Structure 1
Amino acid sequence: MAYRLVRARPNHDRLPELRDRLDDGEIEPMEPFGRALTAALERAKFDPESGEAVWIEEDYCTPPLAMEREAVLDEYFEDVTVVSEDVDETAGWKRLEDLPEFWEQLSNVQ
């Protein structure tokens, strides 16, 4: 399996809509990436130094995240960047564990 370390600058005005789509289960059935994208965005972290969302995502696209960006990510994030194209999923999330939860951080800001 291929896992990517992803960073993206959130479009704060659009995030309530993304949260609703995740809560309603709208993204999860999107084939072939919906389950992986939903899981990654639910677990996303917030980097307070950069203001970016950070997550680990299972992805097999060339270029990386092509389908996810077209269908979902580019609506809610800018500067979506794959920092590392081949990371161990467990080790990747462990690297992010000290960062605050993305969705909790946003609720504290709003």
Structure 2
Amino acid sequence: MLRALLCAAAFALPVSAFAFTASDLNRLCMKTDVASRAACAAYVEGAADGVFNTIDAIGGTTGPRVGQYFCLPPDARSAQLTDAVRKYIAENPNVAGYNASTAVSLGLGRAFPCKSGS
């Protein structure tokens, strides 16, 4: 029985993860309870790490170093990243249906662009 539940969960997770949109992320980040705020920050930070490392690993095509779409300052705080992403989503309503990680990448790219020589 437990094995069947684990298999069902494994098939359900990829579907739900794929469906997490920029609008869903923004709704999560608007909540004020501690768990939601932590989940929002964790998603933004995790997506930022994933996007940066993936693009860097496959040899992307932009940025001062190949693969960089955004350049976070070393002292960047979680709240700054979350605020930048939420601002981008608010100012660009057309991204509401995009995958949430795409919105994170675009928002951070707008707020923390790479400069030549970075």
Task: Return the TM-score normalized by structure 2.
Answer: 0.26
Higher relative contact order (CA 8 A, sep 6+): 1
Q: TM-score, normalised by structure 1?
A: 0.28
- Structure 1 or 2, whichever has the larger Rg, is 2
Which structure shows the higher helix fraction?
A: 2
